[in-house]
Homo-oligomer: A and B are copies of this chain.
Amino acid sequence: MEQLILYFTQAGFTGAEAAQIAGCFTFRKIPKGDFFIEEGKISRHLGFVEQGFLQYFVIVEGEEKTTYSVGHGNFVASLVSFLKQVPSKESIRALVDTSLWLIDKNTLKKIQKDIPAFAHFYIELLEWQICCIDESRLDSLLLNAAERYKKMLDKEPSLIQQIPLQYLASILGVTPRHLSRIRNSIR
């Protein structure tokens, strides 16, 4: 909790505000393999990833397709479901042991009203979130699988050790067979 208070203090809130805001979050650990949210349910919480890695996916024709992934320092939620409070099209699962700070939608709305500066903070958070999605979108459109694999090697080197190849392949948008080819071609 101290880290959260520190975080909001550094973001420009007074000590009292930071404590009030931080108090709205709850802590949760998700063991490897467990779900943050399942398809069809409503994403009621926004999570800040303190540690770990999560995979967004849908099942289409019996196959899991990864649609997004987030690591520590990022926010996680099935966005459309959380924002509109409609059933989620995606499931989200921890691929490694993960710890999160959670806040629910109503509380989030409430502190936007109570603390005007928080509304502006939330605007910047949304804007930053848009930039993250945008980068992911451009990556999947402009890089090929080999380039995406190299980028992942670069940004999350520890993941390659911890996560079975079949998940890495799904995150990269290729079959395990093809990821094997990519790894072979790199070395």
Contact = CB atoms under 8 A, between A and B. Distances in A.
Interface size class of A (residues with CB under 8 A): 20 to 34
Interface string A88-132: 010000000000000000000000100010011011001101110
B173 A134 contact: no
A174 to B, nearest CB: 12
Given A119-B120, A123-B126, A142-B60, A131 B65 contact: no
**What is the oligomeric copy number?**
2
Interface stretch (A2-10, A77-85, A149-157): A77-85
B137 A136 contact: yes
A131 B67 contact: no
Nearest to A116: B116
Contact of A141 (B67, B131, B134): B67
A140 interface: yes
Contacts of A1: none
A159 interface: no
Contacts of A126: 123, 126-127, 130
B131 A130 contact: no
A22 B140 CA distance: 37
Interface of A: 58, 60, 65, 67-68, 79-80, 83-84, 89, 112, 116, 119-120, 122-123, 126-127, 129-131, 133-138, 140-142, 173
